[in-house]
Amino acid sequence: MAELLQKVRVIDPVSKIDELFDVLIADGFIKEVASHIADIHPDTQIRDCQGLILGPGLVDLYSHSGEPGFEERETLLSLLKSAAAGGFTRVSILPDTSPAIDNPALVAQLQQKRAEDNLSPLLHIWGAITVDVAGKQMTELTDLASAGVVGFSDGKPFENLALVRRVLEYLQPLGKPVAFWPSDRQLTANGVMREGVNALRFGLPPIPASAETTAIAAILELVAAIGTPVHIMRVSTSRSVELIASAKAAGLPITASTTWMHLLLDTKAVKSYHTSLRLDPPLGNPSDVVALRAGVRTGVIDAIAIDHTPYSYEEKVQAFAEAPPGAIGLELALPLLWQYLVETEEFTALELWRALSASPAECLGQKVSAILPHQPAELTLFDPQQIWKVERKSLYTLSQNTPWLGQQLKGHVVQTWC
């Protein structure tokens, strides 16, 4: 059935458009975009979209699936339903499942499950770099590439720079993205919070910024020597932004991402000791948040990742320092980022939508379509004014590890087309 969205605010970072249009969608394609569409089929469903926003479907660079191995946290079905409810039409899962996604058979199994269940959004899978994500031995990278992985990442800090160098040499001819999380575990030690005055105030073991920046510097040196493009995950410090900006200015083939929570919260939030604020890397100091936001706006930080990390209630009900790090976010990121970055006019709507759609797609070596006639209808319809409460019955994810649980949010996804 054809649908006509009347007077919808079209935000298209591909065409750099932020205007009111009528948009006609039929048979999975955008049929017409115009200031007014009057000539329509009698069976066309007409929707008054005043106050609503239509943009390209959101793209998540990396998140965690509980399946296989931890289905009590999240199944593939609940993950993809959660993503669709949050406006995402493409989701990329990291390989740290149990067993790890380190062989073509498991890649095929997950894709077959998605196809059999006729699930959307699109599922992309990161192939493990090392066997069982143990960091000791490389996987069969060529076989995984042939199996259709979107790229390669362990999603965990690397320890062996000689292995990283060899991986970059092996991956160069494959043309697949490779993503590293820079974190020196010796410098991190038993820390759980970013080093600074608040770590002292709250009595929590600190993690120095150098745990991240020294690891980034090592990656950049290897990229400069070998030339293989690299994506730097989970950037969380102001100094990291400076290093990445300098590397890009020097022409190094790198992209970078930060996570949505690192753009919204800083170490002051940890005062509550809410275990869903126990993240890795930890929330930054206020100066880090300022630098990360500026980095996203200018494109030094290419994309905002969700890094959706579900845990069961029992796993998170511990002392702050003992709780596993991570929080959910697929259904929460767009409303909260819009509310605190766009409505405050710190970001333009185009800047935010670009960092959540076109730019993460580019980091994966993909593109999103412009909102133009004859293009596929991979779209998200968002109501920035709708009020809803974050609670178990309002979420598709099986986990509730978020500091916003029980709170009212403004902004909700109305529909996605995939």
Rounded average pLDDT over 35-48:
90
Q: What is the pTM of this model?
A: 0.96
Dihedral of alpha carbons 271, 277, 280, 281, sign? negative
Q: Are residues 39 and 118 in the same domain?
A: no
Rounded average pLDDT over 402-413:
98
Torsional class of 124: left (φ above 0), alpha (ψ -120 to 50), beta (otherwise): beta
Strand blocks (E) in 285-407: 303-305, 379-389
Q: Are residues 340 and 229 in the same domain?
A: yes
Rounded average pLDDT over 102-111:
95
> With 70 as the cut, is the pLDDT of residue 270 above it?
yes
Q: Are residues 108 and 140 in the same domain?
A: yes
Q: Are residues 199 and 252 in the same domain?
A: yes
Q: What is the count of structural domains for the chain?
A: 2
Q: With H, G, I as helix, E, B as strand and everything else as coil, classify residue 180.
A: strand
Q: What are the pLDDT digits (tens) for 152-196?
A: 999 999 989 999 999 999 999 999 999 999 999 999 999 999 999
> With 70 as the cut, is the pLDDT of residue 50 above it?
yes
Query: Residue 135's pLDDT is what?
Result: 62
Cα gap 386→410, rounded to integer Å: 6
368 in a structural domain: no
Query: Residue 265's pLDDT is what?
Result: 98
The count of other CB atoms within 10 Å of the CB of residue 32 is 18
Q: Which amino acid is at 66?
A: G
Per the model's pLDDT, the better-predicted residue between 84 and 41 turns out to be 84
> With 80 as the cut, is the pLDDT of residue 136 above it?
no
Query: Residue 399's pLDDT is what?
Result: 97
Catalytic residue among 102, 154, 307, 383: 307
Q: The CATH number of the domain where 328 resides is what?
A: 3.20.20.140
Q: Are residues 27 and 67 in the same domain?
A: no
Q: Are residues 48 and 169 in the same domain?
A: no
370 in a structural domain: no
Cα gap 172→366, rounded to integer Å: 18
Token output for 253: 């083939």
> What domain range includes position 143?
57-363
256 in a structural domain: yes
**68 confidence band (pLDDT: 50, 70, 90):** very high
> With 60 as the cut, is the pLDDT of residue 133 above it?
no
Q: Is 383 a catalytic residue?
A: no
Average pLDDT of the chain to the nearest whole number: 96
Rounded average pLDDT over 375-394:
97
Q: The CATH number of the domain where 29 resides is what?
A: 2.30.40.10
